[in-house]
Amino acid sequence: MFRAYVLLFFTYFFFHLKVSGNITKYINMKYAFLSDITIYLLAFLTIVQFYLVATEGKKAHIDCDCDHDHVHENDLPFYKRWGIYAIFLFPLITGFFLPIATLDSNIVKAKGFSFKAIDTTDEYAQIQYLRPDSSVYYGTDGYEELMQKELKQYISKKSIVMNDKNYLKGMETIYNYPGDFLGKDISFDGFAFKGESENSRQLFVLRFGVIHCVADSGVFGMLVEFPGDVNLKDDDWIHVEGTLSSMYYQPFKSTIPVLKIKNWKTIHAPDDPYVYRGIN
């Protein structure tokens, strides 16, 4: 019976994430079909398990003619049985009773902030900051072809508006070909992060981006420079418009793009603060 209720609660948990929209805080929504399949599969397994529970009483007293002993779940030692239960109960308890945390500047501060991707032992994941880099998911030729295609979409435009759908693609293209975008007008939304800015007129405007799931998320954006001093706090959301330039940023020991601000305003945080790679 316990297994039946565990399956029931897992089914409800995934269904609740789907209906509430909170599933977007865990995975790239281009994989939403996988969560749908999971819900249907868990629902099917739940029905099967309840059916088995309902019919097991009829079979409980049937003797087996085989010449070996059977080990049942209830024959396990108490600590082993509840150890198995705990493995399944832990994600349910944390999922139902702990609030869903949104990634913000505190994560950036905790992990450090740099221009280059941080090394990781997982060959299929990269912890990235500032500059999106999806080359790990493509071969050399395939990635170059993709970037050339993206460049053609932006290079002819005098002004580039980066929104929820094209934020990661736009940022990656600009960082790959910064010289082609110097002098162009660019606008986007993000949260403020002061980092190691050299003066009170500079800060980073960032958004967390998800490649596949939240485990491989990174924080991406650009250094911006205002005409005068500004009084913004970390995690304040702003809309910025300006002209792209570049500068040598001493804390990173690298030349990076910088947006010279013409207009800006504070905005409310969006319902979904994350942006996703691959949504067209």
pLDDT at 85 over 80: no
> Last residue of a domain, which of 45, 64, 97?
97
User: Is there a single domain that holds both residue 25 and residue 119?
Assistant: no
User: Is there a single domain that holds both residue 46 and residue 115?
Assistant: no
User: Is there a single domain that holds both residue 73 and residue 118?
Assistant: no
User: Is there a single domain that holds both residue 35 and residue 130?
Assistant: no
259 touches 244 (CB < 8 A): yes
Q: What local confidence, expressed as pLDDT, does residue 174 receive?
A: 94
User: Is there a single domain that holds both residue 54 and residue 182?
Assistant: no
pLDDT at 280 over 90: no
pLDDT band, residue 58 (cuts 50/70/90): low
User: Is there a single domain that holds both residue 119 and residue 254?
Assistant: yes
98-153 per-position pLDDT tens digit: 666 566 666 665 555 655 543 444 444 455 678 888 887 777 778 888 899 999 98
Question: What tokens were used for 280?
Answer: 């067209």
The least confident of 10-19, 80-89, 110-119, 227-236 is 110-119
Average pLDDT along the chain = 78
Whole-prediction pTM: 0.66
CA dist 258 and 261 (Å) reads 9
User: Is there a single domain that holds both residue 145 and residue 259?
Assistant: yes
Q: Residue 179's CB: how many other CB atoms inside 10 A? A: 7
pLDDT at 161 over 90: yes
Phi, psi of 180 (to 5 degrees): -75, -15
Domain that holds residue 57: 2-97
DSSP E strands in 84-236: the ranges are: 129-130, 159-161, 185-193, 202-210, 218-225
User: Is there a single domain that holds both residue 116 and residue 82?
Assistant: no
Domain count, the chain: 2
Higher pLDDT, 163 or 65: 163
Longest CA–CA span in the chain (Å) reads 88
pLDDT band, residue 265 (cuts 50/70/90): very high
What residues does 188 pair with on adjacent strands?
240
Type and span of the H or E element at 14: helix 2-20
User: Is there a single domain that holds both residue 260 and residue 230?
Assistant: yes
Q: What local confidence, expressed as pLDDT, does residue 121 receive?
A: 42
User: Is there a single domain that holds both residue 150 and residue 115?
Assistant: yes
> Last residue of a domain, which of 97, 118, 145?
97
229-259 per-position pLDDT tens digit: 888 999 999 999 999 999 988 888 888 999 9
The percentage of the chain sitting over the pLDDT mark of 70, rounded to a whole number, equals: 71
> Last residue of a domain, which of 64, 97, 130?
97
User: Is there a single domain that holds both residue 40 and residue 79?
Assistant: yes
User: Is there a single domain that holds both residue 37 and residue 141?
Assistant: no
